[in-house]
Amino acid sequence: MKLYFFLAVIFLTFSQTLGFTVDSIPPEGLKQAQYLSRTLPTDSISENCGGILSNATGGIVYNVLGPIQRNERCVWVLRGGRANSFSIDVLYKRNESDTQLSATCFYHRAVTTNVKINSTGLVTSITACNVVVITFSTGNNVSASATGLVLQYTATQGGSLSAASTDQIITPNDAPHLRYPLMSNYSNVELSTFTYFSANQNSTGASAREISVTYIRNGLEAGCFDYLSVYYFNYTTLWQKDETICEDVETTVLTSQGPILITFESDGSQFGTGFHLIHSVIGGSECGL
C-alpha cells in the first residue's frame, strides 16, 4: 500500500501535466483506500486488476485515481477460508458510464447468483456463499475520467467444504497444462475454481484473441455426482453457466474471447483422479479493444 500512495502523490503533483484537473481527482476514493490500508493487513488487500483473496477479511483497492481502460475484465475470487457466508461493503465506486461492478455467489451444489452493484454500501443480495467472485468490467465507451473501486469483505467461517478446495487464475503466461489434482485423487465436498483469460494480464480484453481450454477426463465419479460447470462472462448478462461436464464426457474444447470460469464440485461419497485442462490463445494481438 505504501507504493500505491507514493504514486498517488506523484499523480497529484503532476496532474496537470498528465491532462487531469484537480476537480477530476476523486478524494473520496483515496480516503477510503487509506482507511482500508489502516484497517487491514497489507497481504489481505488486492491492488491489482484481479486476484485471489483467501483471508477471512480482506479488501480491494483498484485504480481509484484512474484512468480506467476500455474493455477491462478484472476478476477477484474471494475464498475467505472455509466460508459459508460473506458480508461485502463497497466503500467507493462512482456511477461511471459504461462501467460495471458485480458480485457472483457460488455455493456448493446450488444455483449461482449474479448481482449488479450500483452503489456504495453493503451488498445485501450476497450472503450465503462459499466463494464470491467480484468482477469489474468496462465497455468500449468508458470515460477517460472513470475510476475504480474500494471494497472490503468479511467471510463467516463454518462451511463444510473440503480444505483441498482451490482457486486458480490462469493467463497465457502460465504453464499450458493443468492437471487437477496434481497427484492422487480429489477429495469429497470440493468447490474449486479455475478462471482463464486470453490476455497476458487479465485487465484488458483483446477482440482478435480467443482463449481455448481443452478438457480431458482422467477420472470422475459416475452418475454426474462430481462435475465441472463452465461459465462465460458477458458484459450484459455477467457470468452465465453454459454447460456441465460429467464423467461421460471424455474430452471437449471451450473457447471464448472473454474470460472463462470453470468450477469443479464433488459430493460426499466416492472420488476420482480428476481431469486435465490445457489452454492456448488463438489469433490476434494483445492490444485492447
**Tens digits of per-residue pLDDT, 127-167?**
899 999 999 999 999 998 899 999 999 999 998 999 999 99
Specify the higher pLDDT residue, 97 or 91. 91
Helices 2-13 & 27-39 angle (0-180, nearest 10): 160
Percent of the chain with pLDDT over 90: 76
pTM of structure: 0.89
Closest CA to 89 of 137, 62, 126: 126
123 and 185 assigned to the same domain: no
* Dihedral angle of Cα 33, 123, 171, 55, to the nearest 10 degrees: 70
CB 65 within 8 A of CB 94: no
**What span, in angstroms and rounded, lies between the C-alpha atoms of 33 and 78?**
19
For residues 177 and 270, membership in a common domain is answered with: yes
DSSP label at residue 7:
H
CATH number of the domain to which 249 belongs: 2.60.120.290
Residue range of the domain that includes 220? 167-282
Backbone torsions φ then ψ of 257, nearest 5 degrees: -80, -25
94 CB burial (10 A radius; 0-12, 13-18, 19+): middle
Asked whether residue 11 carries a pLDDT value surpassing 50, the answer given is: no
> Where is pLDDT greater, at 120 or 284?
120
Omega before 67 within 30 of 0, i.e. cis: yes
Using one digit for the tens of pLDDT, what is the confidence trace for 263-284?
999 999 999 999 999 999 987 6
How many domains, in total, are found in the chain? 2
Give the chain's mean pLDDT: 88
Residue 35, C-alpha cell as written in the block: 482507511
- 234, 100 Cβ separation under 8 angstroms: no
Q: Of 129, 157, 185, at which residue does a domain stop?
A: 157
Residue 23: its pLDDT value, please?
47
Range of lowest pLDDT (15-24, 110-119, 147-156) = 15-24
> Is residue 86 located within the same domain as residue 39?
yes
pLDDT at 285: 54
Tell me the residue type at 50.
Answer: G
Same domain, 228 and 276: yes
| Residue 15 belongs to a domain | no
> Is the domain of 174 the same as that of 265?
yes
Chosen domain end from 98, 132, 157: 157
Nearest 5°: the CA angle 52, 55, 59 is: 70
pLDDT above 50 for 94: yes
Q: Do both 109 and 45 map to the same domain?
A: yes
Q: What are phi and psi of 172, to 5 degrees?
A: -60, -20
Same domain, 186 and 265: yes
Q: What is the mean pLDDT of residues 1-30?
A: 50
φ, ψ for residue 175, nearest 5 deg: -55, 135
